Amino acid sequence: MQNLTLKPARKERLADTVYGQILDGITSGRFASGDKLPSEAELSLSFAVSRPVVREALLRLTTDGLIQSKRGIGTFVSTQPSSRLTELANTSELSSYLRSFEPRIVLEVEAARLAALRRTRADLDRAHAAIEALRSAIASGERGQEQDIEFHDAVARAAGNDYFCDLLNDLRQPVTETMNIGLELARERSPGRRLRIIEEHTRILDAITAEDSDAAASYMKYHLIQARAAVLDVRHLENSQALDGAQRSTN
């Protein structure tokens, strides 16, 4: 970015580090799902950082759905992400990467809405080709990350406003990092989840094709909330494993 002189303040970087260390504790099972976390004061002591830093880290872990605080009782682990997460990502940077979803979601949802109103035939063809390429990539056992990005670019382009493309370009690094994790976890584990990603893309494109701007916006938002949840396996993620099992048993 032009003049990206804004570096996160020291407090914010410290909070990212503390976030990463608590996340490591959760991923490794030291703090298991349902466990009560140490108090703010105890965490402040054991990480040797100030309480505002700990509070900031806990707030972000809450926002990301990993922990939940119960008024007057304490803070509990609500989700245990895949143990592979620590291999796929630098946990002290994960908090920062996940924050990119906040602007990304509003930008891509608005782009999908506008795309439904303005798309040309060429836009639809390009988005469709990106979905087919993703399908092939996944069928060949690849992650399909380039094809995934190509689809999102095609939607932004279809919005008929270059600023959307430029701004999403500026988010390229955190988008790529989080996409890698989500696609890799899907690749390793769940055929259901992989088919869902293709299906989610298809629904977005169908709504854009049908010029249904409200549905296009809603499907894009759904897709990105799922994508964010997939990075950390938080519970309201589409329960693909269960569904895989259920469907198998109906066959």
Q: Report the run of H or E that residue 96 belongs to, with start and end.
A: helix 91-99
In whole angstroms, how close is the CB of 65 to a second copy at the nearest point? 6
| Residue nearer to a second copy on the CB measure, 11 or 87 | 11
Task: With beta carbons less than 8 A apart as the criterion, state whether 31 and 77 touch.
Answer: yes
Contact flag: residue 234 with a second copy (CB under 8 A): yes
Question: Which region, judged by CB under 8 A, interacts with a second copy, from 16-24, 124-132, 180-188, 234-242?
Answer: 234-242
Contact flag: residue 4 with a second copy (CB under 8 A): yes
Residue with tokens 């592979």: 84
Contact flag: residue 129 with a second copy (CB under 8 A): no
Question: Residue 36: phi, psi to the nearest 5?
Answer: -90, 135
Task: Give CA separation, 173 vs 14, 30, 33, 221, in Å.
Answer: 21, 31, 31, 20
Question: Which region, judged by CB under 8 A, interacts with a second copy, from 20-28, 31-39, 84-92, 243-251?
Answer: 243-251
Contact flag: residue 140 with a second copy (CB under 8 A): no
Contact flag: residue 236 with a second copy (CB under 8 A): yes
| Residue nearer to a second copy on the CB measure, 6 or 48 | 6
| Residue nearer to a second copy on the CB measure, 143 or 193 | 193
Q: Using CB under 8 A, pick the residue from 154, 207, 227, 230 that binds a second copy.
A: 207
Q: 156: which 2 tokens?
A: 């932004």
User: How far apart are alpha carbons 176 and 189 in whole angstroms?
Assistant: 20
In whole angstroms, how close is the CB of 220 to a second copy at the nearest point? 10
Task: With beta carbons less than 8 A apart as the criterion, state whether 38 and 46 touch.
Answer: yes
Contact flag: residue 146 with a second copy (CB under 8 A): no
Helix, strand, coil distribution of the chain in percent, nearest 5: 70, 5, 25
Amino acid identity, residue 102? E
Q: Using CB under 8 A, pick the residue from 128, 187, 189, 203 that binds a second copy.
A: 203
- Using alpha carbons, select from 83, 80, 76, 82 the residue that is nearest to residue 34: 76
Q: Report the run of H or E that residue 194 belongs to, with start and end.
A: helix 191-209
Interface of this chain with a second copy, residues 27 to 86, rule: CB under 8 A: 59, 65, 68, 78
Contact flag: residue 219 with a second copy (CB under 8 A): yes
**What number of helices (H) and strands (E) belong to the chain?**
13, 2
Q: Which residues bind a second copy (CB under 8 A)?
A: 1-4, 6, 8, 12, 59, 65, 68, 78, 99-100, 102-103, 106-107, 109-110, 114, 118, 159, 161-167, 169-172, 174, 191-192, 195, 199, 202-203, 206-207, 210-212, 214-215, 218-219, 221-222, 225, 229, 234-236, 238-239, 243-244, 246-248, 250-251
